[in-house]
Structure 1
Amino acid sequence: MRNGWFIACLMLLTCSSDSEPNSTTPPPPSDPRPPQGTQLPGPRPEFGPQSTTLFESGPVRPVAMARDGSMLVAANLPDARLEWFEIDEVGHLRPQGSIMVGIDPVAVAEAPDGLIWVVNHISDSVSLVDIQSAPPRITQTLWVGDEPRDIVFAGPDKKRAFITCAHRGQNRAEVDLEAAGKGRADVWVFDVDNLGEQPGGAPAFILTLFGDTPRALAASASGDLVYAAVFLSGNQTTVVGPSGLSKPPPRDSADGVPAPDTGLILKYNDTNWVDEQGTNFNSSIPFSLPDYDVFVIDAQSLTVKRQVSGVGTVIFNMVVDPKDGMLYASNTEARNQVRFSGMAARAQTTVRGHLADHRITLIRDDQAQPVDINPHLDYSQTFGSATDRALSLSTPTSMAIYRDFLLVCALGSTKLGVCSTASLAQGSAVHEALIPLSAGGSCGIAVHAELPVAYVYTLYDNGISTVDLEHWTEIDHLNMFSAEPEAVVRGRRFLYDAEYTSSRGNDSCATCHVFGNTDALAWDLGDPDGETKPIPNTFMNTSAPVAPYRFHPMKGPMTTQSMRGTKGHGPMHWRGDRTGTDRAPDETLEEAAFKEFNEAFEALMARESQLSDEEMADFTAFAMALTYPPNPIRALDNQLTDVQAQGSELFHKGVVRVQTGQLEVCVRCHPIDPQRGLLGTTGLMSDNGQDGERNFKIPHFRDQYQKVGMFGWGFNQPPVRGPQIRGFGYNHNGATSGNYLLADLGIPTEQVHALRQFLFAFPTENAPIVGQQITVSIDPPAAALARIELMVQRALVMDPIPECDLVAHSVISDQETGWLMNDSGLFDSNRSDQNALDAPSLIALLKDGADRITFTCTPWGNGRRLGLDRNLDGMLNQVVP
């Protein structure tokens, strides 16, 4: 069964040989053959420096209370700053100060010594900030693994810092991305009293958990236990590729065209792998998915005591009730095993209006008890109601315990939920209150230890609401500064706001495109009521389209694609079926193609109407700004290892496919041209040579390192068996396993390995150095000076495009100064009495043990804003000594 459905390989998803492939059935006269060419029609977007860069990193713990209750600290994510607020006698906030930390701070916590630790998601760093000194300063910057997300203090005297990171990154020992059955979720542990002498500090220990990238942490009241949750944990679903599988009707489109051969999503039912009809597919799946969601860590011995399954598909946050030790995990449970979208009048199933269940899972010992927080919803009805939306909580995130209540933030709602812990224990979410908030997107909460007040971070407007917990009402709201474009701020809401964009107030675009990225799942969102449509897209000159020249509405399983990096990369979706054909004269194809997703608000979220043109324009502006982070596999100096370089050479010069003797030149379909913003595709179409539909858009490769973890059937090799951390792999339907990837080229194993390693290190819009930081004090060691020199060198790179801007923030002799390195390698400051200095001269200004300089490589174009002119008003930041 397996031989019929495996893909050729990721590289050849869209590659063709130098000869034109044979067509199968000649097209009917009504279907003109799609054009072929070398570029997309219409105006092309410009690529260059940007004053703000949108990664849309997800806040995890954006607000925290000082232990003495006098201060609230908050991560100002878009402004790359830590802010702090004095709390008056009735709980109102008064801004006291801010300091630049790293790129995209997502979590904050107070250490036992009073320092504020800030987790910087893009910088792969943790800033240790002394907000009590005058002026406040970063005392040290720790280097951690890729994309750190959360932090808690636990262990002996709570002097160990636990930080979740992906199992990769330039600050970690090299990891084997081709090894099957390996955990890829790390928890870095630092000893607060012994951070290490080397630049970036040294972790006391790194735990690796059997999951794919962790996010949330929680600690028991005593600090003896730490809980770590896998972020995109999955739900024991996987896929089999096209192999003539029998599926329930309908088996043709509404205009009578038979459906193409497609894959099929399977779900493990605790005994067997089955499809929606209950058919046993055990022989088709060689591996298992244990679905470890939450790990219980002994904070003393730094060992895993146990793991818990069945918590959720996407796990956002956790909190422990100090009274009884109950652990609560906020999550969504995807229903991706259900086929079809839209009204599905010709079918028996659809996910329309019910993409996922939004839940709080109670965990005690190793038992998980999920509770639906929207029990009022009646999914048998075609549409929801205003009452439904008023009562729904969408995408539960941060939580806090207040007396006998669980306070629940909801990223997709404009309210704070208040649930009785007693009712949750009984399996029912009884809302004591639903507190309206001034802004939506709540995803961070801190409760005052003495006052009946909570502080809630709202993502949509980068704000903080003050909530009166005696009267269940918001009493104040303030906004932190952000220089993001207004259209981006307005457009963000349409990604998350289920209350506005869905019929029931439950699902949103972010239900699957989590924080604008992916859920690591495949979905079969075909429309059984739809008709076939002509393909208008442009195909490569060297890869002719294959008849029939139409998109079939029943497309089969497709993995969720990231919304990042769509600018300049052609039509949308794996097939390019969001074509962008109907566009205004000054509109790019990508902008027009994204606007075609407007119909998804009706087809998927069951909204009774689409967004307005103005709303969709804002959503498009937001989407076009989303960008991929730096590649964590590529070296900070942007140079390839010997093996990666070998793979790059094969990628550019080609390999001879053994089965055909034809030269396959990867770069012909997957160009790398940073000046034009092309990173793996021009957006043209190609014949992918697979079973089933064959006309697909040529994909990019910027996310290959994120897909590691599903190993199964091999090419001319025994399958990989045993537990894996992911159910979906590399190609459009997720069926291509890590051990199959590229193997079918038939080339020597060494070349397959080299090509894979190059793909894992594939460039993105942001150079590897972007976000990297270091903090130095007087007499920095040689290793620190070498890191600063590397940052200077990378900031001076101009060809093919600049890699970064280099900024510095110093506190010297109790005077704070911002710096930006110019094209001559000199640092200009925001002080009129300070001359420009090179890096050694700047470091030489350090005279006292309390003096500090933090260097940060920002995205290209962000330097002036983050170094000299925060609000970009043309006036340098005014710093009062």
Structure 2
Amino acid sequence: GGVLGYQRIGTGNLTHLHPMKGPMLTQTLQDIIGHEPLHWRGDRFGIEDFNGAFHELQGRATVLTPSEMAEFKALLATVTFPPNPFRNIDNTLATNVPMTGHFATGRFTLAAGAPMPNGNPINGLTRYRSVGGFPIPGVGTTRLDRNVFACATCHVLPTGGSTAHRWASGAWQPIASAPGTFGAKQLLLMGVSDVGPNVGLANPPTGPSIQNTLKVPQMRNVFERTGFYMRPGTDSTHGFGFMHDGNVASISDFLGNPAFNPTSDQDLADIVSLTLSWSGSDFLSGGTLINTNATNTALLPPGPPSLDSHAGVGQQETIISPIQSLTRLNQLVAADTTGPSAGRVELIAKTYGPAGNRGYLLSGGNFLADNVGE
């Protein structure tokens, strides 16, 4: 047997959820507070809906008290995505990302399984956000998603998940928290039906999916979810695939799906490299910060903020000679003091010598010593 679930969608109506949802990928706990509803089907309005699991699944004698749940929720609200290794040290998108371990789909010039060319995430971001379309020879001007949507229509900046706004009266309007949702922000869900022919699927669906509504996947941990392949001649090292049930092996297989409109192996590599470089926020377009798509463009809804780390966090440089190149040190200083990401990191210097071990913090263009008054 099973118990039918219910889900509040769209206008606030309740719809039945099938109890046999099948295998699903476990979603990350990183930055989930403020990005409700939870579960792939959005059938949990907030973390409070999981309280019963402490008793029924974890074996705790009782469920959490309201104060304990508040503490648990506050803890989860601090879990941050790590620095992105594909970004520059100043947190900007790179222009030449090696696509090691990513393979062509066979849709264009390169044979299926051939190594992908290096990608340019900046070009990928332009394609991702294009609402006016992109010229394809012999086809015309199209948007990347089925010639209907931009990628950023559903996977908004800066999280890659969905928006908490609805389009009304010619503008994006915030969605108010509904009663019984613990005051949590409720992101829009997407409808899933027959997805048609798919490249790289283990079992391509031929009819409507039983998952009538799904949470839009965020994209900040894509770079950690690589290494799973389902093509002859490739070895899987780790990973669990993409989509809610892991049915698509790799991100290149997913974006190479005929539902999307990349124009070449290079174009696909650029878009894939963007997804690998996603976490970090601070997206730029023409030098302007576009973190939240804060526009009234119908196909570019605004997104909630992202709890992720600057790419410079944890970077270090050891200086042992007065004639040593200071290029990297200057990069570290610039990451702290200039550009759209200034202030997101703090630069600390440590010195060791006969006079003792000292520490300094870069603040306002000067290093402040750990000795008061120095």
Q: Does the TM-score normalized on the shorter chain lie above 0.5?
A: yes
Q: In the alignment, is the contact (CA less than 8 A) between 2:91 and 2:341 conserved in 1?
A: no
The reply to whether residue 743 of structure 1 matches residue 256 of structure 2 is: yes
Please report how far the alpha carbon of residue 608 of structure 1 lies from its aligned counterpart in structure 2 after TM superposition.
5.1
Within 1, Cα distance between the matches of 2:358 and 2:253?
A: 53
Within 1, Cα distance between the matches of 2:188 and 2:70?
A: 24
- Structure 1 SS opposite 2:357: strand
Q: In the alignment, is the contact (CA less than 8 A) between 1:531 and 1:553 conserved in 2?
A: yes
Within 2, Cα distance between the matches of 1:659 and 1:759?
A: 15
Selected match of 2:366 from 815, 821, 826: 826
1:531 aligned partner: 4
Please report how far the alpha carbon of residue 750 of structure 1 lies from its aligned counterpart in structure 2 after TM superposition.
2.4
Within 2, Cα distance between the matches of 1:557 and 1:594?
A: 21
Q: In the alignment, is the contact (CA less than 8 A) between 1:657 and 1:747 conserved in 2?
A: no
Within 2, Cα distance between the matches of 1:821 and 1:681?
A: 37
Q: CA distance change for structure 1 residues 780 and 538 in 2, over 3 Å: closer, same or farther?
A: farther
Which structure shows the higher strand fraction? 1
The reply to whether residue 695 of structure 1 matches residue 168 of structure 2 is: no
- Structure 1 SS opposite 2:77: helix
Q: RMSD over aligned Cα, in angstroms?
A: 2.7
Mind listing any 5+ residue stretches in structure 1 that lack a counterpart? 1-345, 347-527, 540-544, 580-592, 713-718, 835-881
Within 2, Cα distance between the matches of 1:659 and 1:768?
A: 29
Q: In the alignment, is the contact (CA less than 8 A) between 1:769 and 1:803 conserved in 2?
A: no
Please report how far the alpha carbon of residue 796 of structure 1 lies from its aligned counterpart in structure 2 after TM superposition.
0.9
- Structure 1 SS opposite 2:347: strand
Give the number of the structure with larger relative contact order, counting CA–CA contacts within 8 Å between residues 6 or more apart: 2
Selected match of 1:670 from 139, 142, 155: 155
1:715 aligned partner: none
Within 1, Cα distance between the matches of 2:40 and 2:59?
A: 23
Task: Give the counterpart letter for 1:758 in structure 2.
Answer: L
Task: Give the counterpart letter for 2:369 in structure 1.
Answer: S
Selected match of 1:647 from 124, 140, 164: 124
Q: In the alignment, is the contact (CA less than 8 A) between 2:358 and 2:370 conserved in 1?
A: yes
Matched residue pairs, number? 273
Please report how far the alpha carbon of residue 798 of structure 1 lies from its aligned counterpart in structure 2 after TM superposition.
6.0
Q: In the alignment, is the contact (CA less than 8 A) between 1:797 and 1:803 conserved in 2?
A: no
Within 1, Cα distance between the matches of 2:61 and 2:18?
A: 25
2:67 aligned partner: 614
The reply to whether residue 556 of structure 1 matches residue 72 of structure 2 is: no
Mind listing any 5+ residue stretches in structure 2 that lack a counterpart? 96-119, 134-141, 164-186, 196-208, 281-307
Within 1, Cα distance between the matches of 2:276 and 2:20?
A: 32
Using the size of structure 2 for normalisation, the TM-score is: 0.66
Note the alpha carbon deviations across 1:744-769, whole angstroms, 9 max, x for none: 11432322221111000102311111
Note the alpha carbon deviations across 1:472-520, whole angstroms, 9 max, x for none: xxxxxxxxxxxxxxxxxxxxxxxxxxxxxxxxxxxxxxxxxxxxxxxxx
Within 2, Cα distance between the matches of 1:688 and 1:607?
A: 37
Please report how far the alpha carbon of residue 574 of structure 1 lies from its aligned counterpart in structure 2 after TM superposition.
1.9
Note the alpha carbon deviations across 1:93-150, whole angstroms, 9 max, x for none: xxxxxxxxxxxxxxxxxxxxxxxxxxxxxxxxxxxxxxxxxxxxxxxxxxxxxxxxxx
Please report how far the alpha carbon of residue 602 of structure 1 lies from its aligned counterpart in structure 2 after TM superposition.
3.6
- Structure 1 SS opposite 2:253: coil
Q: CA distance change for structure 1 residues 625 and 780 in 2, over 3 Å: closer, same or farther?
A: farther
2:240 aligned partner: 728
- Structure 2 SS opposite 1:649: helix
Q: CA distance change for structure 1 residues 608 and 811 in 2, over 3 Å: closer, same or farther?
A: closer
Please report how far the alpha carbon of residue 646 of structure 1 lies from its aligned counterpart in structure 2 after TM superposition.
1.1
Q: In the alignment, is the contact (CA less than 8 A) between 2:351 and 2:357 conserved in 1?
A: yes
- Structure 2 SS opposite 1:805: coil
- Structure 1 SS opposite 2:317: strand
The reply to whether residue 773 of structure 1 matches residue 316 of structure 2 is: yes
Calculate percent identity across the aligned residue pairs.
26
Task: Give the counterpart letter for 1:710 in structure 2.
Answer: F
Within 1, Cα distance between the matches of 2:348 and 2:21?
A: 48
Q: In the alignment, is the contact (CA less than 8 A) between 1:711 and 1:737 conserved in 2?
A: yes
Please report how far the alpha carbon of residue 638 of structure 1 lies from its aligned counterpart in structure 2 after TM superposition.
2.4
Q: CA distance change for structure 1 residues 548 and 536 in 2, over 3 Å: closer, same or farther?
A: closer
Q: In the alignment, is the contact (CA less than 8 A) between 1:570 and 1:684 conserved in 2?
A: no
Q: CA distance change for structure 1 residues 688 and 799 in 2, over 3 Å: closer, same or farther?
A: farther
1:793 aligned partner: 334
Within 1, Cα distance between the matches of 2:61 and 2:87?
A: 46
1:341 aligned partner: none
